[in-house]
A and B are shown apart, each in its own frame.
Chain A
């Protein structure tokens, strides 16, 4: 930057600069979405297999520990995570999962999903990893809003009573989008 404007006649006076700084500070404050308010996170959970139930619940409960405002919108197979009975029977499939050392042709045999699920549940237990049920209770206790997509409830012919106490029903895509629009973190799982 050149310094040859110093002392020139068009140098703004201090008062003009002060006004300008005040204006800019206001603009910055407006750009920061409520800097004193909690961060917001919206997760859309669409998968209902045992392995895919964990990421949304772990992130949601941890974010709640940060005092974030958290919504998890459960749709399609993700709804099974909130279904009290089904959540305890979530399964794992070795088919199409290259991380599991079973060829697809073998993994497709009857009983293989049950075996993969048993092995995973054993590992979860041995590792001291929480169960899906524990993570749901934990999330709800901490004020995480677990939403069950109304359209999916009807599609799957579930009842509102099938879900854990504290689960929010009667919500749709617009509710999820509304929270997402103001969220700092949005995830589709």
Chain B
């Protein structure tokens, strides 16, 4: 996973549970241009596996990083196409 990237947009899905973090991430990524990075802030612990799985199974996105801070899960996804 690369460590140097600039966040273009931040999506806040705190307090929301499956399937919202993935579905809203997809919606937010669609609004970005190629190369831009989306930061997703979630409290759903299932979002770690779900967003990784979604990024793996979806063309045109790349998971850059996932961080856990206290009860907050931060995901970084780049739009690649």
Contacts and interface: CB of A to CB of B under 8 A. Distances in A.
Interface string A16-54: 000000000000000000000000000000000000000
A130 B54 contact: no
A67 B59 CA distance: 9
Interface string A104-120: 00000000000000000
B61 to A, nearest CB: 10
A138 B23 contact: yes
Nearest to A129: B17
Nearest to B22: A65
Given A62-B22, A65-B27, A130-B17, 14 more contacts: A62-B18, A62-B23, A62-B54, A64-B23, A65-B25, A65-B54, A66-B26, A66-B54, A67-B58, A67-B59, A127-B17, A129-B18, A130-B16, A135-B19
Interface of A: 58, 61-62, 64-67, 127-130, 135, 138, 142
